[in-house]
């Protein structure tokens, strides 16, 4: 289970907000500054990242992640469900 513990609305381009999550089953492991994006009909979340420049363009490199695409997809789905629940109640 994933719980959203904080949310700050941003609304800048496709970036909708910044939030924190906690995973009680992992000893209350938490991740701060997760990003929530929405563009067209798609929604996704990303791990905190650093910004760098390459060939004159801004790029982002996540500090954390999963090596298995299916695990990442499942984590994102659970984060989005937890975020929906948090926003419904706050």
For 16-46, how does the pLDDT look when each residue is reduced to its tens digit (9 = 90+)? Answer: 999 999 999 999 999 999 999 999 999 999 9
DSSP string, 24-47: GGGTSEEEEEEEEEEETTEEEEE-
* Right CATH for 3-89 from 1.10.3470, 2.30.30, 3.40.50, 3.30.1120: 3.30.1120
- 80 vs 50, 53, 77, CA distance in Å? 22, 29, 5
Distance CA 85, CA 57 (A): 35
Span 50-55, average pLDDT: 94
Backbone angles phi, psi at 67, to 5 degrees: -85, -25
* Per-domain residue ranges of the chain: 3-89
């Amino acid at each position: 289970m994933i719980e959203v513990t904080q949310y700050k609305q941003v609304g800048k381009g496709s970036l909708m907000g910044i939030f924190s999550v906690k995973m009680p089953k992992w000893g209350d492991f938490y991740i701060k500054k997760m990003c929530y994006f929405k563009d067209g009909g798609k929604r996704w979340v990303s791990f905190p990242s650093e910004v760098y420049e390459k060939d004159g363009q801004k790029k982002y490199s996540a500090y954390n992640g999963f090596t298995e695409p299916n695990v990442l997809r499942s984590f994102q789905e659970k984060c989005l469900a937890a975020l929906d629940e948090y926003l419904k109640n706050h």
